[in-house]
Amino acid sequence: MKKKLIAGNWKMNGGLAANEALVQALRAGVGAPACAVALCVPAPYLAQVRELCAGSALNLGAQDVSVHEQGAYTGEVSAAMLRDFGVRYCIVGHSERRQYHGETDATVAVKAQRALAAGITPIVCVGETLAEREAGHTEDVVKRQLAAVIHLNGHCISEIVVAYEPVWAIGTGKTATPAQAQTVHALLRAQLHAASEKSDRIALLYGGSMNAANASELLAQPDIDGGLIGGASLKAPDFLSIIAAAR
Ligand code: PEP
């Protein structure tokens, strides 16, 4: 069975002192987990968190990557720069970036391509809004989002991680039920299966208000291979409980 992955998305939270306290607490509690663990931190803290994680089971992750390789793109961070700091995972296409920064399916596909070319595993986020779910469009939306990434990266699609994150569940305390999440994960699994013979190795994460109380039931679903965790990843005891539930 493949190892599950628990990835924390700190979003735009943290500070030098808070990061140190959080990572020390995680280091003290994480031991040798049954799953892989990643911390996706704000770019300015990559160097600090890399040092804090050294020699532990905690892997470094980023939250975004530029579509450009290098050059006159003020404010952008390239995949090669992330690799310089030992980044193993990079979230691409988070709904907050689609919503507030106008990222399209095509943009997200290129970001995944940049990460892959740098040897970084993209965590590709897909998910429907509440209006889309209520209109019965969940399947169309997530398949369209994933299809763009498959189209551009088909040759190495088995190297990606996919995170299903219903937008209505992110940061709201409203979690998809395990059955709702499993239904969408099974659709995504079938889509990946049709695209690659090696699709079995692709981890499908669930994200959206996953916490210490609901993690076990979500992670017990046959097609849920881990979690992308926002709010609960900022509290060491909660994040450690979720890691412990991923076996
Ligand atoms: C996220 O930001 O990817 C996320 C799932 O957030 P939360 O766990 O806070 O809903």
- Beta strand 161-164 with 121-126: parallel, antiparallel or unpaired? parallel
CA of 72 from ligand 1 middle (Å) equals: 32
For residues 48 and 71, give the distance between their C-alpha atoms in angstroms, rounded to a whole number.
25
67-107 confidence digits (pLDDT tens): 999 999 999 999 999 999 999 999 999 999 999 999 999 99
Can you give the pLDDT at residue 95?
98
pLDDT at residue 103, rounded to an integer: 98
Give the chain's end-to-end CA distance (angstroms, integer). 10
> pLDDT, tens digit, for every residue of 4-48?
999 999 999 999 999 999 999 999 999 999 999 999 999 999 999
Q: How far is CA 8 from CA 36, 62, 164, 227, in A?
A: 11, 10, 14, 8
User: For residue 211, how far is its CA from the centre of ligand 1 (angstroms)?
Assistant: 10
Look up the pTM and report it.
Answer: 0.98
Question: Whole-angstrom Cα distance, residue 6 to residue 232?
Answer: 11
Report residue 1's pLDDT band, with 50, 70 and 90 as the boundaries. low
| Mean pLDDT rounded to a whole number for the chain | 97
Pocket lining: 208 vs ligand 1, CB cutoff 6 Å: yes
Q: Which domains does the chain have, with CATH numbers?
A: 5-245 (3.20.20.70)
pLDDT in tens, 136-186: 999 999 999 999 999 999 999 999 999 999 999 999 988 899 999 999 999
Q: Would you call 193 a catalytic residue per the annotation? A: no
What is the band of 2 on the pLDDT scale with cuts at 50, 70, 90?
A: confident
pLDDT one-digit tens code per residue, 179-206: 999 999 999 999 999 999 999 999 999 9
154 or 111: which leads in pLDDT: 111
User: How large a percentage of the chain has pLDDT more than 90?
Assistant: 97
Q: Is 118 in the pocket of ligand 1 (CB under 6 A)?
A: no
pLDDT > 70 fraction of the chain, expressed in percent and rounded: 100
Whole-angstrom CA distances from 137 to 81, 133, 140, 163, 193 are 38, 6, 5, 18, 22
